[in-house]
Amino acid sequence: MIIEGLCTTTNPDGTINIAPMGPIVNEELTTFLFRPFQSSTTFQNLKAADCGVFHVTDDVDMIARAAIGELEETPELLPAKEVDGKVITSACRWYEFTVVSIDESNQRSEITTKLKHVGHLRDYWGLNRARNAILEAAIVATRLHILDANDVQTQMQQLEVIVQKTANAADAETFEFLKTYVASRFE
């Protein structure tokens, strides 16, 4: 199963990279297989530092903005407990991990990890239909270079119907942000 969330890794200059990530996990959430593209900052950081922190969050705005490189400010962070990394304080829970192995034989690497610490900050409320649609729209926004413009437009229109029916004001604003971003890439 794939679970969507945010991964923090440390850049060579000591700053923190925050990226959406969908690792393959088992049902007990005890194994995480990350598959970042080798061209990504997350891949480069995990290869260099051998550790990171994966966050489960219901903050789809942060996920969406991080996905398209528009996270305007770094959220509040705490030091991780067992690895040299940072925890996003607004996350629901986090999973500190070390890298066990990296398979670089494909453009999309496979990084096997070992959990070192699990933490809980607050309950996870889940994602309603609007937030699921926003998550899907964010994924579409990261794939504009490989998707047909008409397919993107169709997908965004379908997702917008869901958002209009079920979103709160903040989530509707996040969807509009993504819709504007996508439209600007096809002008």
Residues 44 and 89 in one domain: yes
Bridge partners (DSSP) of residue 5 are: 21
Instruction: With a cut of 90, say whether residue 56 has pLDDT above it.
Output: yes
Instruction: With a cut of 90, say whether residue 29 has pLDDT above it.
Output: no
Residues 92 and 172 in one domain: no
Instruction: With a cut of 80, say whether residue 1 has pLDDT above it.
Output: yes
Domain end (from 120, 142, 163): 120
Tokens 């600007």: give the residue: 184
Q: How confident is the model at residue 144 (pLDDT cuts 50, 70, 90)?
A: very high
Domain encompassing residue 78:
5-120
Residues 11 and 81 in one domain: yes
- Whole-angstrom distance, CA of residue 98 vs CA of residue 165: 41
Residues 36 and 77 in one domain: yes
What average pLDDT does this structure show over 154-175?
Answer: 96
Q: How far is CA 162 from the centre of its chain?
A: 21
What average pLDDT does this structure show over 14-36?
Answer: 94
- Whole-angstrom distance, CA of residue 141 vs CA of residue 127: 19
How many other C-beta atoms lie within 10 A of the C-beta of residue 92? 19
Mean confidence (pLDDT) of the chain: 95
Q: At what angle do helices 169-185 and 60-67 cross, to 10 degrees?
A: 10
Q: How confident is the model at residue 126 (pLDDT cuts 50, 70, 90)?
A: confident
- Whole-angstrom distance, CA of residue 69 vs CA of residue 18: 9
What average pLDDT does this structure show over 46-67?
Answer: 96
Instruction: With a cut of 90, say whether residue 9 has pLDDT above it.
Output: yes
Residue 84 near residue 71, CB atoms below 8 Å: no
Instruction: With a cut of 80, say whether residue 30 has pLDDT above it.
Output: yes
Domain end (from 89, 120, 151): 120
What average pLDDT does this structure show over 35-43?
Answer: 96
Residue 53 near residue 18, CB atoms below 8 Å: no
Bridge partners (DSSP) of residue 77 are: 88
* pLDDT tens for each residue of 102-121: 999 999 999 999 999 999 99
Q: How confident is the model at residue 64 (pLDDT cuts 50, 70, 90)?
A: very high
Q: What is the CATH number of the domain that holds 109?
A: 2.30.110.10
Residues 91 and 155 in one domain: no
Picking from 117, 118, 137, the residue whose alpha carbon sits closest to that of residue 127 is: 137
Q: How far is CA 176 from CA 6, 13, 32, 172, 187, in A?
A: 21, 34, 32, 6, 17
The residues, any chain, with a CB within 8 Å of residue 154's CB and separated by 6 or more, are none
Q: How confident is the model at residue 82 (pLDDT cuts 50, 70, 90)?
A: very high
Strand order in the sheet with 24-25: 16-21, 5-10, 51-56, 93-103, 110-120, 32-34, 24-25
What average pLDDT does this structure show over 26-35?
Answer: 92
Secondary structure letter of residue 76 according to DSSP: P
Domains in the chain, number: 2
Instruction: With a cut of 80, say whether residue 187 has pLDDT above it.
Output: no
Q: How confident is the model at residue 125 (pLDDT cuts 50, 70, 90)?
A: confident
